[in-house]
């Protein structure tokens, strides 16, 4: 990919912007992209950079090497100055998940390999997930005497339903990419060699849509889990009022009638 902009200030991930798409690549392949404090700090900074950059219309999140992310770096956890677990969650993990879910731009997770522990949670927090054929998901927390965290107890039941979520969270079984597709955890499984291309194609399609409508749709889908139908109907009417007042809506109608592709500006 030829990057329009790549920030040299990141050391544990790559942040590249090209053609209105930000690609964030967790880049510690020698340890399966495990989450260290520097990586967590940089990942939050990267999502905040996306939030500030209105020229970015879609994000791809992926991992370098054979893994997507093996979760918390357990060697770092044994260091004497490691923060207590609850502090680490409140100060580092939770803000990343919150930033991902609050982002206006959609995030495409390109799950290239194993996604374990908080690495699985990062995948769950993406808006759309594509998985390489060999990718796996494992809530490895129970194996080390921990509770699933980083939003996984909230996100997973909403993605795969309560029965499968309970099995994954309690038993800690590894879920294959094929099963992830079967249970609706990923939108599609693709050959490993095509994952980057497929993820980028999805991001390109998203980047060509109207940004305000996309952001409102993200919020509506998220909110739908905690409201009843009557409230959802009113919520849709409210959001449609906002989307309908945008220049992009007028452009969408004009483009349709003129039989040409729309040029959305985010206005
Ligand atoms: O701050 C806090 O602690 C609170 C937050 C917690 C959030 C969490 O994420 S807790 C869960 C942490 N993650 C895990 O428990 C996963 C541990 N890893 C595994 O279960 C397996 O490694 C995988 C299923 C991810 C992959 O298995 P496999 O067979 O493909 O690879 P491997 O041989 O096990 O691992 C390759 C290397 O990566 C190996 O190092 P070595 O022996 O070659 O020097 C392994 O130790 C290392 N590695 C893998 N995961 C981690 C790790 N090193 C440190 N931390 C890891 N999480």
* pLDDT tens, position by position, 148-181: 999 999 999 999 999 999 999 999 999 999 999 9
Q: 12: Cβ below 6 Å to ligand 1? A: no
Residue 93 has phi, psi (to 5 degrees) of -75, -50
> CA-to-CA distance for 98 and 125, rounded, in angstroms?
9
> CA-to-CA distance for 222 and 220, rounded, in angstroms?
5
Q: 141: Cβ below 6 Å to ligand 1? A: yes
Ligand 1: atom nearest CA of 150 is 7
Q: 115: Cβ below 6 Å to ligand 1? A: no
Q: Which of 29, 34, 41, 116 to mutate to test the pocket of ligand 1 (most atoms within 8 A of CB)?
A: 116
Secondary element (H or E) of residue 21: strand 21-26
Q: 148: Cβ below 6 Å to ligand 1? A: no
**Count of C-beta atoms within a 10 Å radius of residue 80:** 4
Q: How far is the CA of 127 from the centre of ligand 1 (A)?
A: 25
> CA-to-CA distance for 76 and 37, rounded, in angstroms?
8
Q: pLDDT tens across 117-153, in order?
A: 999 999 999 999 999 999 999 998 999 999 999 999 9
The pLDDT score that the predictor gives to residue 94 is 98
What's the pLDDT band for 230 if we cut at 50, 70, 90? very high
Q: C-alpha distances in angstroms, 125 versus 76, 95, 189, 259, 265? A: 24, 12, 18, 36, 26
Q: pLDDT tens across 31-63, in order?
A: 999 999 999 999 999 999 999 999 999 999 999
End-to-end Cα distance, the chain: 28
Q: Which of 37, 70, 90, 111 to mutate to test the pocket of ligand 1 (most atoms within 8 A of CB)?
A: 70
The pLDDT score that the predictor gives to residue 85 is 96
> CA-to-CA distance for 223 and 215, rounded, in angstroms?
12
Q: pLDDT tens across 74-97, in order?
A: 999 999 999 999 999 999 999 999
> CA-to-CA distance for 29 and 108, rounded, in angstroms?
20
What's the pLDDT band for 4 if we cut at 50, 70, 90? low
Q: C-alpha distances in angstroms, 133 versus 68, 113, 193? A: 13, 8, 9
Q: 37: Cβ below 6 Å to ligand 1? A: no
Q: 121: Cβ below 6 Å to ligand 1? A: no
Length of the chain: 267
């Amino acid at each position: 990919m030829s990057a329009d902009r790549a920030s040299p200030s990141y050391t544990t991930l790559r942040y590249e912007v090209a053609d209105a798409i930000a690609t964030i690549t967790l880049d510690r392949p020698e340890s399966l992209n495990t989450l260290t404090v520097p990586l967590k700090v940089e990942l939050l900074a990267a999502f905040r950079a996306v939030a500030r950059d209105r020229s970015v219309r879609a994000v791809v999140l992926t991992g370098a090497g054979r893994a997507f992310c093996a979760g918390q770096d357990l060697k770092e956890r044994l260091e004497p100055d490691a923060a207590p677990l609850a502090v680490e969650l409140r100060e580092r993990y939770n803000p990343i998940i919150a930033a991902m879910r609050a982002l206006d731009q959609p995030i495409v997770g390109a799950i290239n390999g194993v996604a374990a522990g908080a690495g699985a949670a990062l995948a769950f927090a993406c808006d759309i997930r594509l998985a390489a054929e060999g990718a796996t998901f494992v809530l490895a927390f129970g194996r080390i005497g921990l509770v699933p965290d980083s939003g996984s107890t909230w996100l997973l039941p909403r993605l795969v339903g309560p029965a499968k979520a309970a099995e994954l969270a309690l038993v800690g079984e590894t879920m294959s990419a094929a099963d992830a597709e079967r249970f609706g955890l990923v939108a599609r499984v693709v050959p490993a060699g095509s994952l980057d291309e497929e993820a980028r194609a999805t991001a390109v399609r998203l980047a060509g849509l109207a940004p305000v409508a996309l952001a409102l749709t993200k919020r509506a889908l998220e909110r739908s889990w905690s409201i009843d139908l009557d409230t959802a109907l009113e919520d849709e009417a409210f959001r449609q009022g906002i989307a309908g007042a945008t220049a992009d809506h007028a452009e969408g109608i004009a483009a349709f009638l003129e039989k040409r592709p729309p040029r959305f500006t985010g206005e």
